[in-house]
Amino acid sequence: MELIGLRAHFDGKQIVLDDSFRLKPNMPLLILVLPNQENMAWFTLAEQGLATAYGENEPEYSAHLVKEPNAEYEGR
């Protein structure tokens, strides 16, 4: 299933999409409530940073590539 992120806001009565997207009846949705508008800039910046840091063909790095393990890491 492909996830699609859309910007939206609550106008006091209903959720209004800020991005143009055609919703189909009974389409499942996941709503993520952000703390406030000021933090939105940080979320956008983080999203852009991750998008540039990791490409679509990013390789998986295994533990054997670690040159100096952290002795305090608990393996979470």
pLDDT for residue 18: 92
Bridge partners of 15, per DSSP, are: 10
Q: Where are the domains of the chain?
A: 7-32
pLDDT bin (cut points 50, 70, 90) of residue 1 is: low
- Quickly count: other Cβ atoms within 10 Å of residue 8's Cβ: 15
pLDDT for residue 60: 81
- Quickly count: other Cβ atoms within 10 Å of residue 31's Cβ: 7
pLDDT for residue 76: 57
pLDDT for residue 16: 92
**pLDDT of 58 higher than 60:** yes
Instruction: Cite the beta strand spans of the chain per DSSP E.
Output: 8-10, 15-17
pLDDT tens digits, 6-47? 889 899 999 999 989 999 999 999 888 877 767 777 878 888
